[in-house]
Amino acid sequence: MSRLRFGYFMAPFHVPGRNPTAALQRDLELVEHLDRLGYDEAWFGEHHSAGSEIIASPEIMIAAASQRAPRIRFGTGVTSLSYHNPLWAADRIMQLDHLTQGRTIFGVGPGSLPTDSAMIGLNPTDTRELLQENLDIVVRLLRGETVSAKTRTHELYDAKLQLAPYSENGIEITVAAVASPTGPRLAGTYGLGLLSIGATLSADGFDALAHHWNVMEERAEVNGTTVDRRRWSLAGPFHIAETEAEARKQVEYGIEEWFDYFQHVAAFPQMAVSGARLNEMIDFINEAGIGVIGTPEQARRQVQRLWDQSGGFGCMLQMGHDWANPQDTRRSAELFAQEVFPYFQGQAQATLDAAAHARAVREGHAKAQLDAVDHMTKKYAQELADKG
């Protein structure tokens, strides 16, 4: 297994009616915490309606977070490319690439909330078609090309970016996928990364993982591009504590509001969840394989399950969900870093082997230590006797 990266995917989710300023500050503080813990990536989403996912511009959040967290990489999770003039979207991400000194991943998708696209006169079919048109333009612009193109919403005349990328290899682009093959097809066509947001939130998403990679490889072969499993990120929900009982108690803080959002507010059936009572909700997360509310060991099993189903990927992203209060959420992230990361990053086995070896030879070494002490005690006593 190659070194697996770990990160956080914050749409975000916050309960409507509570202080949005404080919620955004908590998001930034969480990223600082993740940076100190050694997380590799943090992603912010783009949403404009429905009251819970309150970040309108992932670029603004990343610009703010990058000044607080100097090491971690940032992704737009995702920029709803169908809503934007592709020239200005590419121009903004190029500026952000410089502000973060090459730590930006440009995640793109069609937009997930119909209440967003409806406000600008687009339906879900429109947004998916526009994603393909706009992505082609953005890829060319970020490569330094001059582009003239017309879509149903915008027209470009000899458009060209005035900045070159900060990094020699340019800006990494990743396409979102839930269950359909649209994202993998686009990623394979252009040789981009893939972000499987619905990797666990439905049986279709989990079952489609291996198929998605096959689609990417097939499209890459047809178009003469290359795809890399290290640029494939999977997202799923976790909350862990020292015991499963503690974890279940802690998510009583906010899991009901999260379920209510996906069951009754967000018109996003790909993220369907089931359960009417608190215990039913918690059991559904664990028993349906959607995520983990439990212990680090359970979290390790879930990551391994996803690895086995997919055939291997590059980054495991925990979904932000506000199931627990901020203190318990930070502790969950800490436990994940301490007790899950090492098993997938080549760090656990070396210390386990060292401990096992020391255990196996302890009896012999302990006897030698006691013999040495006894020998020196007798020698010292003899020296004293000889002097007396």
Task: Give the integer Cα–Cα distance in Å for 387 and 377.
Answer: 16
User: 298, 241 in Cβ contact below 8 A?
Assistant: no
Residue 315 tokens read as 């980054």
> pLDDT averaged over the chain?
94
Residue 299 tokens read as 């979290």
Torsion of CA 120, 124, 127, 129, to 10 degrees: -140
pLDDT of residue 206: 65
pLDDT of residue 97: 98
Q: What is the radius of gyration, based on Cα positions, of the chain?
A: 25
131-158 pLDDT per residue, tens? 999 999 999 999 999 999 999 999 999 9
User: 141, 86 in Cβ contact below 8 A?
Assistant: yes
Task: Give the integer Cα–Cα distance in Å for 104 and 75.
Answer: 6
DSSP assignment, residue 122? -
User: 197, 176 in Cβ contact below 8 A?
Assistant: yes
Task: Give the integer Cα–Cα distance in Å for 241 and 338.
Answer: 12
282-324 pLDDT per residue, tens? 999 999 989 999 999 999 999 999 999 999 999 999 999 999 9
- The residue-averaged pLDDT of 14-35 equals 98
244-257 pLDDT per residue, tens? 999 999 999 999 99
Residue 280 tokens read as 């039913």
Task: Give the integer Cα–Cα distance in Å for 267 and 87.
Answer: 29
Helices 124-142 & 182-190 angle (0-180, nearest 10):
10
CB atoms closer than 10 angstroms to residue 276: 9
Task: Give the integer Cα–Cα distance in Å for 20 and 189.
Answer: 39
Helix (H, G, I), strand (E, B) or coil at 340: coil
- Tally of helices (H runs) and strands (E runs) in the chain: 15, 13
Which domains does the chain possess? 5-346 (3.20.20.30)
pTM (2 decimals)? 0.93
339-362 pLDDT per residue, tens? 999 999 999 888 988 999 999 999
- Strands 315-319 vs 5-10: parallel, antiparallel or unpaired: parallel
User: 30, 8 in Cβ contact below 8 A?
Assistant: yes
Q: Among residues of the chain, what percentage have pLDDT more than 90? A: 87
Task: Give the integer Cα–Cα distance in Å for 336 and 133.
Answer: 39
pLDDT of residue 1: 63
The HSE-up count of residue 68 (CA atoms within 13 Å, CB side) is 18
User: 226, 187 in Cβ contact below 8 A?
Assistant: no
**Angle 45-109-15 (CA atoms, 0-180°, nearest 5)?**
30
Task: Give the integer Cα–Cα distance in Å for 303 and 317.
Answer: 10
State yes or no: cis peptide before 78, omega within 30 of 0. yes
pLDDT of residue 274: 86
CA-based nearest residue to 188, from 151, 146, 150, 224: 224
The HSE-up count of residue 53 (CA atoms within 13 Å, CB side) is 29
DSSP assignment, residue 270? G
- The residue-averaged pLDDT of 113-134 equals 96
CA-based nearest residue to 216, from 83, 105, 104, 312: 312
194-209 pLDDT per residue, tens? 999 876 765 555 667 8
Burial (CB count within 10 angstroms: exposed 0-12, middle 13-18, buried 19+), residue 66: buried
Task: Give the integer Cα–Cα distance in Å for 247 and 133.
Answer: 44
